[in-house]
Amino acid sequence: MLFVRLIEAVIAGVGGLPPVVSRPTDDLGTRSDTSRAIAFSDAVLAIIITLLVVDLRVPEVPPGRLLSGLLEQWPGYAAYLASYAYVAVVWLNHKGAFNRIRESDRGLHWVNLFVLFTTALLPFPTAVVSDALQEHDQQDQRVAVAFYALIGALLCVSWLTFFHYLSRRKDLLREGVSEGHFPAERVRALVGVILYVAAGLIGYLVAPLAGALVGIALRHHHRAAGGRTAVSPRRVRVTAVIRPKGDPR
């Protein structure tokens, strides 16, 4: 591909020869708008966020003990809220990223599928943490928190891959998107990997609660990823209106 582009550039630059038209079929089937990718991603994330509630069950208690049974399931509620917030942040960041993308290609579809794959794992560690906290076994709680942090780190790896791809494929982005946006988000994702690994180690080696609190605090780290401005200040154009002399306006 690079050799073909080089040949075209040489031919187009030769005096007296007309420029070579772009290849008519090279991108056929590989380039498209982002509507289908966004619709598919929204559907997958909606299913994931719905599956989180499946682990919340009616407690099996004798008559008259329903209230105490519901209260004893508080770890399940906490795990559900934490993972719901996580998926919500993923959706917001996904929306913010695709607002800056003009069209998709095959590589972008694959890295997007990687993000959805890792996000789809969240209901499983959520159920593991919920069960471990309700069983009150310290060793199981350490393993559960470390496992949840591992999935969080893997999710950050998928975002790292996603942002790295977009930082190298500026031709897919909308006009006016800051050149430093996706490289900066790539750094954010890398920091997330490191912090989740640290949270897992703290949860396993020090205290499960401490590791869980670090993981919850990381929601703020991810929350701002999709909210920063997409337009580079260098590309903002100010149009001056020139009025003829004597114009009362």
Quick one: which of 122, 198, 118 has its CA closest to 160? Answer: 118
Q: Give the orientation angle of helix 123-135 with respect to helix 138-168, to 10 degrees.
A: 160
Average pLDDT, integer, range 217-246 = 46
Tens of pLDDT, residues 132-169: 888 888 899 999 999 999 999 999 999 999 999 999 99
Percentage of residues of the chain with pLDDT beyond 90: 49
Count CA atoms closer than 13 A to 12's CA, side-chain side.
10
User: Whose CA is closest to 106, among 42, 31, 164, 38?
Assistant: 31
* C-alpha span between 198 and 214 (Å, rounded): 9
* Residue type at position 15: G
Closest CA to 45 of 122, 154, 152: 122
**Within 13 A of 233's CA, how many CA atoms are on the CB side?**
1
**Highest-confidence segment of 25-39, 121-135, 196-210:** 121-135
What are the residues facing 32 on neighbouring strands?
104
